[in-house]
Structure 1
């Protein structure tokens, strides 16, 4: 007998919107019984769930018979709604909300599986990481979070396959920020030269939407560090959090205290040119050694050394020639001196949604 599967989706931003569109195109998709955004929630009628929320034109469904519209729900209310379905339930969390992430164990202990690109769930306190997977094991629920590292690149599944089959991970290094990859390739290209200053590059990336609304969220290195934390935990290093290892911030210390409001970002961009000389000095140091400046992360597994920051690289190295994409090199005992390399665009709403969708389809196959 086939068990019915029901979905609850939280977050309808860029990733969530793209995911709903992709869900509308797959056959025999699970029923959507909860759709929540920051201001309101749509609920399919319990307990029969005879009608479901449509994946497309869902905003017009507020007038459909049986569909309830209410304010945003608290996590415990979402749990109760999903736990009442007459089958298996899955939460898809498209947010970056740490408060929701901290309730994952409660979902899992009620048998609700989770698919998410939320990095904070897996890079926060180590106790939360352990609690998530312990809770999943207790209730035979499952957790899929491929999109938390590398976007569409199959970094986590590849690492887990290597480990499960008995290989020994020696080192992981790469660039896990498409934004920083593009900035540094333009600032100091591997081929040729460039005379541009740092602050105009940041301003342009912000203008075209290639950076977070507050550029400090890209430049402080913490998003990158969260990804390294997840990778390290997957290979067995008990990292307490992204603050437990060195992370080079590209944000001048005096600008850290500016508010994250629109006015604060305007002031940030107005002051950033005053610090171009610091980046120029770093570039000059790289030039003296015949190398290029790049922002990379690395994990040395035997020594359990993790670092995120500026490094000098040979001009012909794969990382030095990266142009606005992501790359991860995995050195293992079996692969020897020639690492397994994963490379690609990685991010963006549609691409990240595709990765979430792939996780969902894998989960459906297991359920």
Structure 2
């Protein structure tokens, strides 16, 4: 004998019920079946609403009754042949009349007792089960219906009645001994007292009904048919990568179901556990899918963690005070008071000092619980020995579950470090001695990020999802996006990184997509999106609260550089090629570095100096290994190097600067490059990263531009000034040629002083043969004394800058 239970979504409409009937008939060819069905999807809520509406003296309950009646009448027409429709409609109409009479009474009395509510709610399962019984008879005559109230007996705790198992098992044997049909249909959720008063079995009652019948019949298995492929490693509505679990032990299933895995409710397991009857959770809409098999064995697939679950709407209640230390009975008084008022405690933790007890309860019970506990400890509170209990609402409990967790070290550390890296604050922790469950209380706003981060850590083959929020999609930004799109598959397969671009913004438009933008047509999407707004961009990033979030700044905008702290404080990493932040006031630079450390949010700016060259990263390794930088000499402007390498008798200075801009080597405002401001910023960043404190105004800038060029207000005037002062630039070139030197814009730091300026470089210098847009940096350190550490390569251009930004993103992914 097998017991099959079909939930509300499985019997939501005629189409779904037809699938249920196919499953039942197919299985009935082999074994006798006990079928338990829930109310039609949404009907229990309608019944509850009708009851409360009637009790509130609102005649709208009559419309709700009509809606319920119509819903069931439509099913009859679609599922039952015309020969049996009249008999079934008579049964349904009689049930609806009884429901109407009960609701009329609630309306007249202006009252809805738990006893009456149980009777009202029972109609959902009574109606659905009888309709399905008749529908089965269309296809299989060997079928009958039994009212569960004739068998399952409970106490009179209406709303959540307790089953009297010995009486129930006795009645089961008595009623079924004379029934020969192969298929027997029962309504779930409902039972009755020994006085024949209707009761209900509480949340998940239909599952519980099926489990009770499986126990009474000593069934070979209990099958729970629902709308998902079993129990999942996490809630698939929140964690898209969640997978169905093939095997669970009873204990693992109970832990997961207790912590919110709504496929199965905790009471369901107890009756079948005692009889060692396995549970199989199957999908009505994918009957051939494997599902989840629950038994007394925990079959390991190498991962000690079987699932991650959570409970919403939790309040932490803390009772603390010196008057509890060393005093016996405090815990007893606390839990006894809550028990007497039927308040369920979901979570418990207590410090070894006995100074405080912290419990988790439902938000709905919070105020009631506080009143009860304050009254219980009224004397101690009045004597200031114990504080009035403290409530922290709107929290969630998140839990790792697995039978074999106790045999593996470091799981707690992995769990908490993963949450910490994603700025998920843990309010309380609990772990039983069995180590089957590790629970933590967190803010409700962090639940999606926490579940996804933990699932990624324990179930996704260590594949890390990086969520990028990109501001600036000009030349460099476009190359960066193209590189991500090109390398996405490689990163996932080889580096276990799933890189998604969640947001893009330029000066005009911005777009967000929580599932990741399609990088094949991002330009079209961006052009058709909303107006750009920096404050809204920041707010949306913080509201999404995604794990492993990275803000990528590909602008030269000072306003954008000033918002990095808002991201770092939310543990959102920052990657930038914008030099303004790190070359701003030393206090601001240091603050950003401190925030990065405090909130464990990487702050990377490799492309601030040398575009894609590993200059800053190399410097960091030098300092970290204990070396000390004493002198820096560098050509740090790829744009200026390109300009002076191409400026000759045949190419005017004006034309070469224009070409540098066209090729993307200069900033949008070329004066930033030619004035030496950009080089000064770069050497300042290297000085600071070397461990020295210096401000921008401490760097001597020996500009080669005439003052009038410097004073221009826009690019048009600036280029006009370059034509006007062409002789000035030509004289510089002639002087360099006469000295057999080349013109290079050099940055120098030595003995605590720094300067930038145009220099005549002799042939013996390593700077002399620096070609194209290349950069070169020489570090003289305690270890590199006579021969400096030299880094040389392309230091400008959209593609190499984009690759440097990309490399910083990959560095974060490897953390």
Contact 1:102/1:128, CA 8 A, preserved across alignment: no
Unaligned runs of 5+ in 2: 1-454, 458-464, 493-497
Q: 1:31 aligns with which of 490, 500, 516?
A: 500
Q: For residues 304-343 of structure 1, what are the structure 2 equivalents within 5 Å?
A: 304-324=752-772, 325-343=774-792
Aligned pair partner of 1:231 in 680, 686, 699: 686
1:296 maps onto 2:746 in alignment? yes
Runs of at least 5 residues in structure 1 that lack an aligned partner in the other structure: 188-193
Q: 1:349: Cα distance to partner?
A: 0.7
CA drift at 1:254: 2.2
Cα pair distance change 1:32/1:216, threshold 3 Å: closer
Structural mapping, 1:133-212, within 5 Å: 133-186=593-646, 196=649, 200-207=652-659, 209-210=662-663, 212=666
For 1:2 and 1:16, locate their aligned partners in 2 and report how far apart those are by CA, in whole Å. Answer: 28
Judge conservation of contact 1:185–1:321 (CA < 8 Å) in 2.
Answer: no
Counterpart contact for 1:292–1:313, Cα < 8 Å: yes
Q: Once superposed, what is the RMSD of the aligned Cα atoms?
A: 2.3
Match for residue 9 of structure 1 among 454, 470, 481? 470
Task: Give, in angstroms, the shift of residue 137 of structure 1.
Answer: 1.6
Which 10-residue stretch deviates more, 321-330 or 211-220?
Answer: 211-220
Q: Distance in 1 between matches of 2:546 and 2:642?
A: 48
SS of residue in 1 equivalent to 2:581 = helix
Cα pair 1:40 1:69 within 8 Å, conserved = yes
Partner of 2:804: 355
- State the partner residue of 2:704: 250
Structure 2 CA distance for partners of 1:59 and 1:310, relative to 1, 3 Å: closer
Deviations 1:303-337 (A, max 9, x none): 21111013343312110111121111111221221
Give how far 1:277 is off.
Answer: 6.1
Structure 2 Cα separation of the partners of residues 253 and 158 of structure 1 = 37
Aligned match of 1:57: 521
Q: Secondary structure of 2:678's partner?
A: helix
Rg larger in 1 or in 2?
Answer: 2
Distance in 2 of aligned mates of 1:349 and 1:292: 26
- From the superposition, tell whether residues 126 and 313 of structure 1 become closer, same or farther in structure 2 (CA, over 3 Å): same
Q: Give runs of aligned pairs for residues 240-279 of structure 1, distance below 5 A.
A: 240-241=695-696, 243-262=697-716, 264-276=717-729, 279=732
Match of 2:40 in 1: none
Match of 1:191 in 2: none
C-alpha distance 339-93 of structure 1, shift in aligned 2 (>3 A): same
CA distance in 1 between partners of 2:485 and 2:732 (Å) = 47
Would you say the 8 A contact 1:216–1:251 is kept in 2? no
Counterparts of 2:673 and 2:645 in 1: how far apart (Å)? 16
Query: For residues 124 and 183 of structure 1, do their structure 2 counterparts lie closer, same or farther at Cα, with a shift above 3 Å needed?
Result: same
**1:205-259 CA distance string (max 9 Å, x none):** 4146256355423221111111001001001111112x32111112101222222
Indicate the residue corresponding to 1:131 in structure 2: 591
1:291 positional shift = 4.7
Q: Conserved in 1, the CA contact under 8 Å of 2:469 and 2:549?
A: yes
- Tell me if the contact between 1:42 and 1:62 (Cα under 8 Å) persists in the aligned partners: yes
Cα–Cα, structure 1 residues 158 and 73, in superposed 2: closer, same or farther, change >3 Å?
A: same
Give the superposition deviation at 1:364.
Answer: 1.1
Cα contact 2:583–2:684 (8 A) shared by 1 = yes
Change (3 A) 1:266 1:333: closer
Question: In the superposition, relative to structure 1, how do residues 309 and 266 fare at CA in structure 2: closer, same or farther (>3 Å)?
Answer: closer
Q: TM-score, normalised by structure 1?
A: 0.86
Q: Secondary structure at the match of 2:582?
A: helix
TM-score of the pair, normalised by structure 2: 0.40
Partners in 2 of 1:277 and 1:21 — Cα distance? 40
Q: Does 1:218 align with 2:679?
A: no
CA contact (8 A) 2:653 2:729 kept: no
- The equivalent residue for 1:43 is 512
SS at 1:16's partner residue?
helix
| Alpha-carbon distance, 1:166 to partner | 1.1
- CA separation in 1, counterparts of 2:636 and 2:724? 27
Question: Matched residue of 2:698: which SS?
Answer: coil
SS of the residue 2:763 aligns to? coil
SS of residue paired to 1:326? strand
Count of matched residue pairs:
341
* CA distance in 1 between partners of 2:533 and 2:763 (Å): 52
CA drift of 1:266 comes to 4.2
Quote the offset at 1:281 in angstroms: 7.2
- State the distance in 2 between where 1:203 and 1:250 align: 17
| Distance in structure 2 (CA, Å) of the matches to 1:114 and 1:168 | 27
**How far is the alpha carbon of 1:350 from its aligned partner?**
0.9
Give the structure 2 partner of residue 92 of structure 1. Answer: 552
Partner of residue 190, structure 1: none
Q: Distance in 2 between matches of 1:167 and 1:237?
A: 13
